[in-house]
Amino acid sequence: MSFRHVGRSFAVLGLLLSAPIGCTVPPQGGPAVTDTGTRINFPFDWEFRGHEPIGVGTQGMVVTADQRATQVGRDILQAGGNAVDAAVAVGFALAVVMPTAGNIGGGGFAVLRTGDGATAALDFRETAPALITPQHFLDVEGIPTNESRAGHLAVGVPGTVAGLYELHRRYGSMSWRDLLAPAIDLAENGFTVTAALHEALKGKESTLTQYGATRQVFFPGGEAPRVGSQFRQPMLARTLQEIASEGAAAFYRGAIAELIAQEMQRGGGLIRRDDLLAYEAKWRDPVTFDYRGHTIISMPPPSSGGVTMAEALNIVEGYDLRGLGFNSPESIHLLVEAFRRAFADRNYYLGDPDFVDMPIERLTSDEYALGQRASISRNRASNSESFNRVPVLREGANTTHYSIVDGAGNAIALTYTLNLSFGSGIVVPRAGFFLNNEIDDFTIRAGYPNYFGLIQSDANLVAPGKRPLSSMTPTIVLRPTGELLMVLGSPGGAKIITAVTQNIVNVIDFGMDARIAVDAPRVHHQLLPDELLYEMNGLDTQTRAVLLGMGHLVVPSDSYIGGVELIIRGPDGTLYGAADPRREDGRALGF
Ligand code: DON
């Protein structure tokens, strides 16, 4: 227990007297959006208690996992740019200051709603190169190897530059060059290295230093840049300059494409110039559904986020979670049973819509949820095996999300990633950016787990030109009146879906304000492994004992569950932003 932590615990002691089980958390992140009259208790030792700053504004709000990127977004809004302009600038800025997950060598998804109520979803997920086969990732006995995660074979054709370019083409109001300028400045003139970046690089030093260009850029003088030092990336600055002057073509046809293709040939990777030429960001119809009168707009396949969350929320909509209380054993039990069923369908049915047919209407319907509820006992855990339809054959991750709202009410939720921290670990020589390892999100062989323990079916089998199934869940929530209420999303692999779902429940069912909703301890269940994960100190002993008694295997998570960057729009139009303290460099700024 850190000193800071002890101090916090004492600070709430007075409140504890009136709340013997935990402690009542004072609202600080704006008004509670629903008046539930319920008292929110967090366990005494829970770390995050509503004390971090929030952003407040009326003209705009930016919440990202890095304060410099947040600043870039707010500057763009203040200069008259709209939410999409800010999102493009933030996307490039994060590629400079947060190389763990911010990227131009990865991919992601964006969900938007314009001030006049139009919605859209952009898929800029990586694609598998034309030369790929499942055999690339299986040993002689047909067992998946590590190559979907590490090294050149793990790299999917990057989508980020095409995605940001397409967002700008359709919605941007400022010049493309102006949106890249802050990122170029950060790359050229440098920024101060945070403890989080230093630790992340050090933690992966042995893998990362295998690659010459990675060593050269990120371990100058043979070591990770020191905390507090200035870190410059001139090579990346040049790459961004080219993208600024030539647009996405620089990346997919021009000099950068050539450098990627050369590195692939050199290292035995599969991406060729033709794969880059063929890459397209695709507009998809968002998954839209109703939860207790609110409208939820989220990402459709090839992300599983929206469909899986819709199924889970439709199931719990049939229960009085508010009456059962926040994180009571009964409400956790019902959420977990909903997650179990939703992940069973996710893992069995979902994949790239350009390759597989999926019963999405059925899975996200209220009738389907009714049937699912009929199989839920109020006091007994179900057996995951009875839902799993993918036979099980055997025995630091990073992504980042940001949420932006502008003065005209345009909102964008964007999640993008290299998959694991620093992706494949490969920096493109003479281009200065990391390539993803997104191929690991595919099913390599049905029944074998990927890095996130997801056991998926042939619907998500790796194939040329296909996009791997994702869990990224950029989401926008509207009030029953149709006005904007929430903009949110998270990193965390499969935990993204459960973290986002719980934040929606925190706000709609439990009436939490932005700060408390984000700080609140989370749980996670993804069907298999059959474990109910909770955050350290996030559930008190008594609650865990009741859940165990119901038959749940209750296990502490070895890491925090997600990192939610949330905006709430209050009833009077005030914007409240809360960055997740689970990711230490985050920040919300409004004006
Ligand atoms: O698309 C996905 O679901 C994963 N590639 C996301 C990876 C992730 O969130 C890692 N972050 N903590």
Same-domain pairing of 478 and 584: yes
Same-domain pairing of 373 and 387: yes
CB of 304 closer than 6 angstroms to any ligand 1 atom: no
Residue pLDDT, tens place only, 2-12 = 323 322 332 23
Residue 343 CA neighbour count, 13 Å, CB half: 31
> Looking at per-residue confidence, does 583 or 126 come out higher?
126
Model confidence at 40, pLDDT cuts 50, 70, 90, reads confident
Evaluate whether residue 112 is within a structural domain: no
CB of 492 closer than 6 angstroms to any ligand 1 atom: yes
The number of domains in the chain is 2
Model confidence at 28, pLDDT cuts 50, 70, 90, reads low
DSSP state letters, 274-299: HHHHH---EEEPPEEEEETTEEEEEP
Residue pLDDT, tens place only, 149-167 = 999 999 999 999 999 999 9
Q: Looking at 11-25, 197-211, 453-467, which range is the least confident one? A: 11-25
Evaluate whether residue 514 is within a structural domain: yes
pLDDT at 2: 30
Evaluate whether residue 411 is within a structural domain: no
Residue 193 in contact with residue 231, Cβ under 8 Å?
yes
CB of 493 closer than 6 angstroms to any ligand 1 atom: yes
pLDDT at 398: 85
Same-domain pairing of 313 and 248: no
Does the pLDDT of residue 17 top 50, yes or no?
A: no
Evaluate whether residue 49 is within a structural domain: yes
Residue nearest atom 5 in ligand 1 by C-alpha distance: 419
**pLDDT more than 70, % of the chain:** 92
Query: For residue 490, how far is its CA from the centre of ligand 1 (angstroms)?
Result: 9
Same-domain pairing of 431 and 480: no
In the set 209, 214, 364, 399, the catalytic residue is 399
Choose the final residue of a domain: 410, 436, 460: 460
pLDDT at 15: 30
pLDDT at 371: 97
Report how far residue 197's alpha carbon sits from residue 14's, in angstroms, rounded to the nearest whole number: 37
Taking residue 541's Cβ as centre, other Cβ atoms within 10 Å add up to 8
Report how far residue 499's alpha carbon sits from residue 569's, in angstroms, rounded to the nearest whole number: 20
Which residue is associated with the tokens 């809360």? 578
pLDDT at 331: 97
Evaluate whether residue 407 is within a structural domain: no
pLDDT at 581: 96
Among this protein's residues, is 399 annotated catalytic? yes
Does the pLDDT of residue 369 top 60, yes or no?
A: yes
Model confidence at 27, pLDDT cuts 50, 70, 90, reads low
Does the pLDDT of residue 26 top 90, yes or no?
A: no
CB of 471 closer than 6 angstroms to any ligand 1 atom: yes
Choose the final residue of a domain: 441, 460, 479: 460
Q: Which two tokens stand for residue 247?
A: 């647009």
Does the pLDDT of residue 176 top 70, yes or no?
A: yes
Same-domain pairing of 76 and 154: yes
Burial of residue 472 (CB within 10 Å: 0-12, 13-18, 19+) is: buried
Same-domain pairing of 310 and 334: yes
Residue pLDDT, tens place only, 370-405 = 999 999 999 999 998 888 887 765 436 689 999 999
pLDDT at 388: 80
Identify which of 299, 347, 471, 557 to mutate to test ligand 1's pocket (most ligand atoms within 8 A of the CB).
471
Work out the average pLDDT over 345-356: 98
Query: For residue 347, how far is its CA from the centre of ligand 1 (angstroms)?
Result: 15
**Ligand 1 atom index nearest CA of 471:** 3
- List binding-site positions for L-glutamate: 125, 417-419, 441, 470-471, 493
Q: Which two tokens stand for residue 434?
A: 């990391």
Work out the average pLDDT over 198-218: 97
Residue pLDDT, tens place only, 542-574 = 999 999 999 999 999 999 999 999 999 999 999
Residue nearest atom 1 in ligand 1 by C-alpha distance: 470
Same-domain pairing of 364 and 509: yes
For the chain, what is the mean pLDDT? 93
Query: For residue 583, how far is its CA from the centre of ligand 1 (angstroms)?
Result: 15
Work out the average pLDDT over 333-337: 98
Same-domain pairing of 90 and 234: yes
Residue nearest atom 10 in ligand 1 by C-alpha distance: 398
Report how far residue 158's alpha carbon sits from residue 89's, in angstroms, rounded to the nearest whole number: 18
Evaluate whether residue 402 is within a structural domain: no
Q: Looking at 30-39, 79-88, 294-303, 374-383, which range is the least confident one? A: 30-39
**pLDDT more than 90, % of the chain:** 89
Residue 426 in contact with residue 436, Cβ under 8 Å?
no
Contacts of 494 (CB under 8 A, 6+ apart): 343, 452, 453, 454, 471, 524, 526
**Ligand 1 atom index nearest CA of 563:** 12
Same-domain pairing of 279 and 291: no
CB of 491 closer than 6 angstroms to any ligand 1 atom: yes
**Ligand 1 atom index nearest CA of 305:** 3
Contacts of 275 (CB under 8 A, 6+ apart): 127, 129, 130, 157
Same-domain pairing of 53 and 90: no
Same-domain pairing of 491 and 530: yes
Does the pLDDT of residue 482 top 50, yes or no?
A: yes
Work out the average pLDDT over 332-343: 98
CA 317 to chain centroid: 24
**Is residue 387 helix, strand or coil?**
coil
CATH number at residue 323: 3.60.20.40
Residue pLDDT, tens place only, 94-119 = 999 999 999 999 999 999 999 999 99
Q: Which two tokens stand for residue 323?
A: 């009456």
Contacts of 348 (CB under 8 A, 6+ apart): 389, 390, 457, 459
CB of 580 closer than 6 angstroms to any ligand 1 atom: no
Residue nearest atom 6 in ligand 1 by C-alpha distance: 493
**Ligand 1 atom index nearest CA of 468:** 1
Domain that holds residue 582: 7-57+286-395+470-590
pLDDT at 32: 59
Identify which of 454, 466, 496 to mutate to test ligand 1's pocket (most ligand atoms within 8 A of the CB).
496
Choose the final residue of a domain: 460, 479, 510: 460
CB of 496 closer than 6 angstroms to any ligand 1 atom: yes
Evaluate whether residue 408 is within a structural domain: no
Same-domain pairing of 572 and 445: no
Residue pLDDT, tens place only, 267-281 = 999 999 999 999 999
Does the pLDDT of residue 412 top 80, yes or no?
A: yes
Q: Is the pTM of this model over 0.75?
A: yes
Work out the average pLDDT over 205-215: 97
pLDDT at 11: 29
Work out the average pLDDT over 421-431: 97
What is the β-pairing status of strands 587-590 and 575-578?
unpaired
Residue pLDDT, tens place only, 484-522 = 999 999 999 999 999 999 999 999 999 999 999 999 999
CB of 423 closer than 6 angstroms to any ligand 1 atom: no
CB of 513 closer than 6 angstroms to any ligand 1 atom: no
Fill in the amino acid letter for 241.
Q
Residue pLDDT, tens place only, 278-323 = 999 999 999 999 999 999 999 999 999 999 999 999 999 999 999 9
Evaluate whether residue 556 is within a structural domain: yes
Does the pLDDT of residue 34 top 80, yes or no?
A: no
